[in-house]
Amino acid sequence: MKIPMPRETKYLRPVDRVRYGKPEHKEGLSVPGITQAYGSLSSKLKSLPFYLNAIVATLRELAKSVRSNASNPYSGATVVAPETLEELAAYARSLGVSGIGYAPVKDTHLFRESIVLFKHAIVFSMEMKKSEIEKAPSIRTIREIFRTYHELGRAVNLISEFLRGKGYNAQPIAAISNNINLTLLARDSGLGEFGKHGLLITKAHGPSVRLAAILTDIENLPQAQEPGMGWIRSFCDSCNACVRACPAQAIYSTPVKLDDGSERHIDYKRCAMPFSKQNGCTVCIKECAFFKGGYERLERAAAARANAPRLDT
């Protein structure tokens, strides 16, 4: 069973100024792609009926997002009024979006297969319900994962239509897409910081979120705000709960430094097996201190330890 991933090339027009990924960029990895390549086929077929409808709906929104690029108006509108951004944010939250950030699209955000039409990004997070993630691994957990994929994909499509209706160009990047590095883009947009498991940790929902984006040529989007979450790295180094809990031992105790200066936090080949065999696994999120304990409490505890007087030895 190969899950089709539609490509933007079919819908490109001469007016599009395309920025492609380069051979030296990392390979784009999506959840379907990873599990197809490295997961267990028999396990996928066994659990698939429980969330097939959500997968079909998710892929339908992904295909719609790719087709919609041919609808960009190219009206010349590149400046947005603050009230329009407020209207956009309110609309996004009515669709279930939890967080919104802004960032320029940098070369480091591109994958080898990237097809990017615009230079700026509006990034969105959506919470995966805690009550369902707490049951990981389970059928209810994987249903929740794909519910979020679907609803976030639908949200960026509808918000893209909103922008186009006001004369702006928009390229929706669905949560399940492998067109751009959404986790890195979200970090650079101020939505959170990486945990040791390589997932984005947000203040409101820890790592229990999925991410999507809309690329646009709006030039005056707000500057990304530094979230002040740099302390998370040292916290993770002393915690390692996700490393210990991972059923595949796929999370590196020390992230691997890559030639381009980025880091690899997990072995995706190892991760794919429990993900496909154990209904989406998600144990690393369930066991993360930022999912269990609340961001503010952990921040206070970390600050107290950092400021505690050191005893002479």
Query: pLDDT per residue over 239-250, tens digit each?
Result: 999 999 999 999
What's the confidence (pLDDT) of residue 313? 43
What's the confidence (pLDDT) of residue 35? 62
Are the beta carbons of 279 and 273 closer than 8 angstroms? no
What's the confidence (pLDDT) of residue 2? 44
Pick out the chain residues at pLDDT < 50: 1-2, 313
Summarize pLDDT for 202-238 with one digit per residue, the tens: 999 999 999 999 999 999 999 988 888 999 999 999 9
Find all residues with CB under 8 Å of 310, minimum gap 6, and list them: none
The closest alpha carbon to 268, from 185, 189, 199, belongs to 199
Q: How far apart are CA 236 and CA 240, in angstroms?
A: 6
What's the confidence (pLDDT) of residue 48? 67
**DSSP three-state, residue 201:** strand
Are the beta carbons of 206 and 291 closer than 8 angstroms? yes
Are the beta carbons of 107 and 178 closer than 8 angstroms? no
Q: How far apart are CA 24 and CA 113, in angstroms?
A: 11
